[in-house]
Amino acid sequence: MELNDATHATAWRCFASPAELAEALARRVATQLAAGLSARGRASLAVSGGKTPVRFFQALSAQSLDWSNVGITLVDERLVPDTDERSNARLVRENLLRGEAAAARFLPLYSAAPSPGQAAANAEAALAASAFPRPFDVVVLGMGADGHSASFFPDADDLAALIENREGRLVLPVHARSAGEPRLTLSLQLLVAARFVALHIEGEEKKRVLEAALAQRDRPVSAFFGHALGGVQVFWAP
């Protein structure tokens, strides 16, 4: 799949605290998922890992939805089993798939494959065979202090080829020294095609990083803003 360049004004949603942000983002995501359920009988959500989304996951799990018809997967994942504390799947299971939201269908990306390439192929096959609506109804991205989003790291091997994704893959293996271990990421094309794309960041440092990335277009996160057909909404709190 090729990317079409899209120029959209960046919408910032600023909140007084991370707790207020989490509640507002949870309500917005629930509204988008409800719209998908109403239109298609099913809805799909891709979420990011790390420490930042914990409050958001907990707030989202309390939203009233037909969770049994919501499919949830990950924007990216470390190649570690869900018994590992660094696993994004573990984070989702412990903080989002609880209460009524435990009825959601969860599709992790990790598999115990002999290579990152095979793990990516396994995840892609599982996603392609799933009943998850595509494009996704909602994608919630995060961003690191280095300007990476999903697992598109500045020092990733052949970053330009990963972003371009000439073969039209849904899931890609990523090797980057700063990532610590091999990772899997959903393709940029798949992520930016979502009906609603949010970037959830917290703290003054990440705000400065994002502002610089948007001005200079020199960080991986910049690509999401350059190509998301519906734009990207930034949810930020200090």
pLDDT in tens, 22-64: 999 999 999 999 999 999 999 999 999 999 999 999 999 999 9
More reliable by pLDDT, 11 or 137: 137
pTM: 0.95
Name the residue with tokens 């309390």. Answer: 62
pLDDT at 8: 47
Structure tokens at 188: 């940029």
pLDDT in tens, 190-206: 999 999 999 999 999 99
Would you place residue 10 in the very low, low, confident or very high pLDDT band (cuts 50, 70, 90)? confident
Question: So what's the architecture of 13-195 in CATH?
Answer: 3-Layer(aba) Sandwich (3.40)
pLDDT in tens, 77-116: 999 999 999 999 999 999 999 999 999 999 999 999 999 9
Would you place residue 9 in the very low, low, confident or very high pLDDT band (cuts 50, 70, 90)? low
Class of residue 113 by CB neighbours under 10 A (exposed 0-12, middle 13-18, buried 19+): middle
pLDDT in tens, 61-86: 999 999 999 999 999 999 999 999 99
Instruction: Judge contact between 170 and 22, C-beta under 8 A.
Output: no
